[in-house]
Amino acid sequence: MMNQIVQGILLGGYYALIACGLSFMFSVMRIINLAHGSLAVLSAFALWLLASRFHIPPFLGLAIVLPLMAVIGWALQRFLLERSARGGALLPILTTFGLAIVIDNVLFEQFGADTRSLAPFIGSLSYDSWEWPGSIYVGKLAVIIFVTAVVLLGGLQLFLTRTGLGRSIRATSEDPDTAGLVGVDARRANAIAAAIAMVTVGLAGAFLGMRATFDPYAGATQLLFAFEAAVIGGAGSLWGTLIGGIVLALAQTLGATVHPQGFLIGGHVAFLIVLFIRLYTSGLGLRGLLGLASGKAS
Amino acid sequence: MSAVSPVIERGTSASRIAGIGVVAIIAMLAIAPQFLSAGSVDRMTALFIYVILAAMWNALAGFGGLVSVGQQVFFGLGAYFAIRLANAGLNPFVSLFVSAIIVGAVSWPISLFMLRLKNGEFAIGMWVIAALTHLLVNLDRLIQGETGTSLISLNVYDASMRRVTIYWLALASMTALLAVLFGLLRGSTGAAIRAIRDNEDAAASVGVRVTGTKRLLFVLAAFGIGVAGALWLATAITFQPKTYFSVQWTAYMIFMVLVGGIGTFEGAIIGALIFFLIETWFGGAGVWYLIGLGATALVFSLLLPRGLWGTLEERFGWRLLSVGYRVRLPAVGAADLAADTTASAQTTTHREKA
C-alpha cells in the first residue's frame, strides 16, 4: 500500500510537468491549447527520431528539441493564437483543435501506428531503482521526473516573480491594455510565455517517452491528464499544479486497485468530484479555479 | 429617411422560394430510394446523419456559444442504449428512438454541472465526460470491452427493406430535428438564443434566461446527436465503443460547421454537404484526408471564421431559411437598393430583437 502511494506521488510529478505548460498558457493568454498533448507527443517523436536515426541519446537530444519547441511556441502564438484570439474566446478552441488533428495525423503518416518508447535509448535508467526503507522500490527515472517537475515549477515561480520579463508577463496576464500603457510589449510577453510553455511541453514529452510508450494518437490522453491536473490543483500557485498531479495519480492508482480497468476511470472521477465540490462551494467560475495558477502567485 | 417608417420582415422573396424548395427537396428525397442503387441509399443515409450532427453541434456552438469537443459522448450513448434496449427485447427500430430520448434525459443532469464551465473549460470538460463514459461502457459485459457487439435483432429484417427503412428514418429524423431547431430559432426562444450568441452578458442584463436557454440547446443537441448515433448503429450494425466514442465525430462536426458557417442555420447544412462530397471523393486518401480536414478547419477558423455561408450572407444579404427579422426602410427608388446593402442587412440580422 505504502509502495503504491509512493509510486503515485512520483507519477504525479509527471502530470504536474505536463500540466504546468497548460495552466501557464491559460493564466497568461486565457487560452486552453487543445494541441497541448499532441505537441508533447511531437516532442517525444522528435527525440525518438534523433535517438534511433542519429544515435543521439534523448537527454542530449533535448538540447536540440527544447529550443525547437520554444520556436514552435513562439510561432504558435504569433501566427495562430494571437490571430484567432481576436475573434473571441471560442475560436482559439477550434484553431488549436484543428492543429491537434493535423499534428496527430502527420505523425501517423510519418511514423505509422506502432507504439514507440524512448526507454531503449536511456540504458539502465529505465529500470534502475533504489530501495527505500520498508522494501519500497522507487524507479530512478520516476525520481528524476519528480525532481525535474519540482525544479521547473520553482524556477517558473522565481522567473515570474523575480525577473523583469516575468513581471511583464504577469502584468500582461492581469491586464494587457494597462500593461501596454506602462510600456510592456504585450505581444512579445505573450510570445515568450508561449515559448516557455512549449519548452515545458517538450520536456514532458521527453519524459512521457522515457517512462512509457506513445503513439501518434497519444496526445488526446495527455491533454486530458494535463487539464485534469491543472484543474484539480487549481487555485493559488504553480505548486497547486504539483498537488493536482499527485491527486490525479493517486486517484488513478486507487482506481487500478479497485478494478483492472479502473486506472483512467479513477482519474476522471477524481477530477469530476473535485470540480463538483469547487463549483458548488466557491461559487467561482473555473477561471477563479485555474485561476491564476501562476500570475497571481506571490 | 426619418419620415418613412421601417417595415419588419421575417423573410425575403428568396426565402419564401427557398421554403417551397425545401419541401420539394424533402419530397424528392423521400421517393429517391426507388431510383437509387443500394450503395447510394446507404451514402444518402450517411449524409442525413451528417446533417443532423452538423446542425446539432451548430445549435450548441453557433447559437448557444458552447464549443464542446466531447459531443461524441452522445453519439456513442445513442448507439449504446439502442443496443441495450434491443437486447432487452425491444423492437430494434423503436430502440433507436427510445435510446435518443434516454440520451436527452441523461444530458440534463450533465448540463446542470457542465454549463457552469466556460469556453475552453467546457470544451475539454465535455471531452473528459466522453472519455469517462467510453470507459464505463467498456465495463458492460454485453459490450465485451473494445471487442464490441452487434445489433443482432436487426438482422431478422430483409436487407433491402432494412436499408430503405433506415434511410427513411434518417430522412425523417433529419427533417424533424431541423424543423424543431428552425421553429426554436424563429420563435421567441430564438431571439433569446441569438442575443446570447451575440453577447451573453448583455442578454442576461435585459432579462434573457441565459442558463435555461443554453440548457435547452444542450439537451436538444444531445438528443439529436443521440439519434444520429443510433441511426449510425442501424446502418453499421456493429458497435465498437472505440469507433463511436471517438473524438473524430466531434472533429467532423466542427469541420462541417466551421466550413459551412457557424451560427447560421443554412451553414451547417451546407457544411455537411461539403463534408459529404469531400469524404466521397477523398475519403480513400486515408490519413492525408484527415490531415486535410484538420488543416481546413484550422484555416477557416483563422481566415474565414464565419464560414462560407456566413461570409456570403454578410456580403450579399442572402437569406434562404430566415430565422431572424429584417428591418427594411421603404424609401423611394434607389434607396430601396441601399436598404438591402450589406451594412443594413448585417445590422438587421444581428441586432434583432423579438
A 194-223 residues with CB below 8 A of B?
220-221, 223
Asked if B128 and A227 come within 8 Å (Cβ–Cβ), the reply is yes
- Contact A235/B at CB under 8 A: no
The predicted structure's pLDDT at residue B226: 96
Domain hosting residue A28, numbered range: 2-218
Q: Which residue of B has its CA nearest to A95?
A: B298
CA distance B53 to A294: 39
Q: Around Cβ A298, how many Cβ atoms within 10 Å? A: 9
- From the list B67, B121, B297, the residue facing A98 with the nearest CB is B297
Asked if B298 and A95 come within 8 Å (Cβ–Cβ), the reply is yes
The predicted structure's pLDDT at residue A235: 52
- Contact A91/B at CB under 8 A: yes
Asked if A97 and B297 come within 8 Å (Cβ–Cβ), the reply is yes
In a domain, A46, yes or no: yes
In a domain, A240, yes or no: no
Asked if B61 and A279 come within 8 Å (Cβ–Cβ), the reply is no
Asked if B305 and A87 come within 8 Å (Cβ–Cβ), the reply is yes
Residues of A in contact with B251 (CB under 8 A): 97, 101
Instruction: Name the minimum distance, in Å, from the CA of A124 to any CA of chain B.
Output: 34
The predicted structure's pLDDT at residue B328: 67
The predicted structure's pLDDT at residue A297: 35
Asked if A271 and B128 come within 8 Å (Cβ–Cβ), the reply is yes
Residues of A in contact with B301 (CB under 8 A): 84, 87, 91, 94-95, 98
Counting the structural domains of chain A, the total is 1
In a domain, A275, yes or no: no
- From the list A90, A224, A287, the residue facing B128 with the nearest CB is A224
CA distances for B192 relative to B180, B197, B218, angstroms: 16, 9, 15
- From the list A90, A102, A286, the residue facing B65 with the nearest CB is A90
In a domain, A276, yes or no: no
Q: Around Cβ B277, how many Cβ atoms within 10 Å? A: 11
The predicted structure's pLDDT at residue B285: 81
- Contact A273/B at CB under 8 A: no
> Is B7-350 a CATH 1.10.357 domain?
no
In a domain, A200, yes or no: yes
Q: Where in chain B are the domains?
A: 7-350
Q: Which residue of B has its CA nearest to A113?
A: B287
Q: How many CA atoms lie within 13 A of A242 on its CB side?
A: 19
Chain B interface, best mutation among A105, A217, A272, by max B CB count within 10 A: A105
Residues of B in contact with A275 (CB under 8 A): 113, 125
For chain A, list residues with pLDDT below 70. Answer: 235-237, 282-298
For the complex shown, is ipTM > 0.90?
no
- The DSSP line for chain A is -HHHHHHHHHHHHHHHHHHHHHHHHHHHH----TTHHHHHHHHHHHHHHHHHHH---HHHHHHHHHHHHHHHHHHIIIIIIHHHHTT-SSHHHHHHHHHHHHHHHHHHHHH-S--EESGGGSGGGGT-EEEETTTEEEEHHHHHHHHHHHHHHHHHHHHHHHSHHHHHHHHHHH-HHHHHHTT--HHHHHHHHHHHHHHHHHHHHHHHHHHSEE-TTTHHHHHHHHHHHHHHH-SSSHHHHHHHHHHHHHHHHHHHHH-TTHHHHHHHHHHHHHHHHHHHHH---HHHHHTTTTTT--
Asked if A97 and B254 come within 8 Å (Cβ–Cβ), the reply is yes
Q: Around Cβ B313, how many Cβ atoms within 10 Å? A: 22
Asked if B301 and A26 come within 8 Å (Cβ–Cβ), the reply is no
Backbone angles phi, psi at A171, to 5 degrees: -60, -40
Q: What are the mean pLDDT values of chain B's consecutive 10-residue runs (354 residues total)? A: 65 78 89 87 94 95 89 96 92 93 95 85 91 93 84 84 93 94 86 81 84 91 96 92 92 92 90 92 86 90 86 76 68 46 40 36
In a domain, A78, yes or no: yes
Asked if A98 and B254 come within 8 Å (Cβ–Cβ), the reply is yes
